[in-house]
Amino acid sequence: MENLIQDYPWGSKSYLQNLLNIKEDGPLAELWMGVHPRGMSKVDISGSTSLSLDEFIKEDAQDRLGKDVLRRFGNLPYLFKFLAAGEPLSIQAHPNKKQAEEGFDRENKKAVPLDAFNRNYKDDNHKPEIVCAITDYWAMKGFRRPDEIKKYFGGFCPEDLLSVLLPAGKGEEAALKHFFITLMNLEDSQKESLLGAALSWCGKQDDDACRWVLKLQDKYPGDISVLAPLYLNTLCLKPGEALYLPAGELHAYLQGFGMELMANSDNVLRGGLTAKFMDLEELEKTLLFESVPVKRIVPEKQDDGSEIYRTASKEFELVYIDCRSKSISIKRSYPVSILAVLEGNIRISEGEETLELKAGESCFLTAESPVRLIEGPGKAFIARVPE
């Protein structure tokens, strides 16, 4: 497969460069694998002929997607990425399916161009996602408990303002909603005063969340959202650990290299740490105002030697394979997949045919194919539709 690299400003100057063995001084952020129109992959068919992945699938959709996937989704339902965060991404959330369909239709009826600065919905799909750490991977995920937020803000926030941000007597959902909306809509003078006190206090603390407040302030001075590590769960994934982000959960990736797999969508509603468009009223409609303990997903080992990261998604499933010491056989009924090599070399055999891939390369595995043998020495991730 030939895949598009997105060079967003927050990208890393080393992760993708090292993976792909290329010289590029500027930041490289994401390598997209899939059929999304903003980053359509191409497939090499005979060495001299290539087609867009979408065209290749449509030539024989039932054979290449599988009858069930074609019936349920109509096309490849996921987008697969290498994600290289050299700097923090914006704080964001993604709409659920109904919200995406309604928002996309609403903006189309208003004739808002797809590439307009103030466009919220780029497509009509939801965007649940999983990210798996390749390196240490810092992220923020979901709201902290109100009492935990109060403990942090109580260190620097005046009592009269703290009682406005977190008034007594509210349930968790109401308290978190009131806190977030009130904080984001403080008057400029209040934001400036609160930020000054917070930065002074955080500089004296031995705490990861406080250290990230200071780092974010360096990048986004004056943005009230630099306080997000104090109200969002802030954590570091170790290599091999993963997070699942459902629709409506406020989050941000801060730093690290990972594999990201999501429903085939690019819908993002932003809530801070960005120069891009922010529609806080629309974001509020999509958010889950709840505090849920962070679950680090670890893979389940399978009899064939692969390891699967389980989530609630119906569109995608992430699989890890390590072929350095043993080969892995993929059965005939294996779901439509994309295999991306992380390290070393991978050889895939279908009867007499063999394909060899090196780190950073990928291939499309159709649903209706013979048994495949995957050999190393190498490591790879596979994106597939859940069985």
Task: Say whether pLDDT at 286 is over 70.
Answer: yes
* Span 181-220, pLDDT tens digits: 999 999 999 999 999 999 999 999 999 999 999 999 999 9
Task: Say whether pLDDT at 240 is over 70.
Answer: yes
Which of these is catalytic: 38, 72, 211, 270? 270
Same domain, 246 and 335: no
- pLDDT value at position 49? 78
- Provide, rounded to the nearest whole percent, the portion of the chain with pLDDT above 70: 99
- pLDDT value at position 47? 65
Same domain, 104 and 250: yes
On whether residue 204 sits in a domain, the answer given is yes
On whether residue 12 sits in a domain, the answer given is no
Same domain, 333 and 291: no
- pLDDT value at position 369? 74
Last residue of a domain, one of 265, 298, 331: 298
Torsion angles phi and psi, residue 105, rounded to 5: -65, -40
On whether residue 289 sits in a domain, the answer given is yes
Same domain, 257 and 203: yes
On whether residue 356 sits in a domain, the answer given is yes
* Span 34-71, pLDDT tens digits: 999 989 999 988 666 789 999 999 999 999 999 999 99
Q: What is the pTM of this model?
A: 0.94
Going by DSSP bridges, is the β-strand pair 251-263/269-270 parallel, antiparallel, or unpaired?
unpaired
On whether residue 24 sits in a domain, the answer given is no
* Span 322-370, pLDDT tens digits: 999 889 988 777 899 999 999 999 999 988 889 999 999 999 999 977 7
Last residue of a domain, one of 252, 267, 298: 298
- Provide, rounded to the nearest whole percent, the portion of the chain with pLDDT above 90: 90
Task: Say whether pLDDT at 171 is over 70.
Answer: yes
CA distance 256 to 12: 8
Same domain, 100 and 249: yes
Please compute the mean of the pLDDT values over residues 152-156 and round it to a whole number: 98
Same domain, 186 and 319: no
On whether residue 174 sits in a domain, the answer given is yes
- pLDDT value at position 387? 84
- pLDDT value at position 48? 66
Same domain, 317 and 281: no
Whole-angstrom CA distances from 22 to 27, 63, 221, 271, 360 are: 12, 35, 33, 34, 11
Among this protein's residues, is 332 annotated catalytic?
no
Same domain, 360 and 264: no
C-alpha radius of gyration, the chain, whole number: 22
The two three-digit tokens of residue 230, written as one number = 């104090």
The two three-digit tokens of residue 354, written as one number = 């063999």
25 or 241, greater pLDDT: 241
* Span 92-119, pLDDT tens digits: 999 999 999 999 999 999 999 999 999 9
CA distance 279 to 272: 10
Which among 318, 320, 364 has a CA at the least distance from the CA of 63?
364
Q: Are 69 and 61 in contact (CB under 8 A)?
A: no
38 or 157, greater pLDDT: 157
Q: Are 271 and 142 in contact (CB under 8 A)?
A: no
Last residue of a domain, one of 242, 275, 298: 298
Furthest-apart CA atoms within the chain: distance in Å: 75
The set of residues, in sequence order, having a beta carbon less than 8 Å from that of 93 and lying 6+ positions away, is: 247, 248, 249, 250, 251, 269, 271, 283, 286, 287
Same domain, 205 and 353: no
Q: Which domain holds residue 355?
A: 307-384
Neighbours of 322 (CB within 10 A): 18
On whether residue 51 sits in a domain, the answer given is no
Neighbours of 9 (CB within 10 A): 10
Going by DSSP bridges, is the β-strand pair 372-375/337-350 parallel, antiparallel, or unpaired?
antiparallel
Tell me how many domains the chain contains.
Answer: 2
Partners of residue 382 on adjacent β-strands: 319, 339
Same domain, 114 and 218: yes
Residue 336, domain CATH: 2.60.120.10
Same domain, 277 and 313: no
On whether residue 198 sits in a domain, the answer given is yes
CA distance 292 to 289: 10
Same domain, 128 and 210: yes
Whole-angstrom CA distances from 179 to 176, 190, 224, 290 are: 5, 14, 13, 12
